[in-house]
Amino acid sequence: GAVVSQHPSRVICKSGTSVKIECRSLDFQATTMFWYRQFPKQSLMLMATSNEGSKATYEQGVEKDKFLINHASLTLSTLTVTSAHPEDSSFYICSARMVAAALYNEQFFGPGTRLTVL
C-alpha cells in the first residue's frame, strides 16, 4: 500500500513551453501533497504544499505564477511549469500524506520526474 506515482518520469522540452507533471496516490486518499525540487547532488527542497480544494502554499522564492499547482481531487495533484527555461531543469518529486496519517506527518514519495529544458 501507500504507492505514489508520477507521470511522466522524464520529459525534455524546448525553452518557452509549458510542462505538466502529475502526482497520484494510487491506493489511498491524500488531503495534502507536496512538491519538491532536487538539483544534482543536492537534497530535496520543498517548493509548495498542495491541499485538496484550496490554493497551494508556496515556499519563499518559488514563483507561484511559474509553478502552477492544482490539487483537484484527493488522489491527484498537478504541477505545471510554465514558460520553462533551462534553469528550470531539475528533478521534481512529489509526496502525499494520508488522511489517516496526518497527525504523524508520514509522507510517501513518488518516483520523481526528470525535466530537461533545452
Interface residue list for another protein (CB under 8 A)? 6, 32, 34, 42-44, 46, 49, 59, 91, 93, 95, 103-112, 114
Least distance between another protein and beta carbon 31 (Å):
11
Q: How far apart are CA 22 and CA 69, in angstroms?
A: 10
Q: Which is nearer to another protein, 38 or 80 (CB)?
A: 38
Distance in Å, CB of 11 to another protein, minimum: 14
Residue 60: how many CB atoms within 10 A of its CB? 4
Q: State the nearest-atom distance from the C-beta of 9 to another protein, in Å.
A: 9
Query: Are 58 and 51 a contacting pair, CB within 8 Å?
Result: no
Cα four-point dihedral sign 30, 45, 13, 19: positive
Give the residue from 75, 94, 85, 76 showing the smallest Cα distance to 115.
85
Contact 77, 95 (CB under 8 A): no
**Complex with another protein: residue 37 or 78, whichever CB lies closer:** 37
Q: How far is the CB of 93 from another protein (least distance, A)?
A: 6
Shorter beta-carbon distance to another protein: residue 3 or 18: 3
User: Which residue, 39 or 83, has its beta carbon nearer to another protein?
Assistant: 39
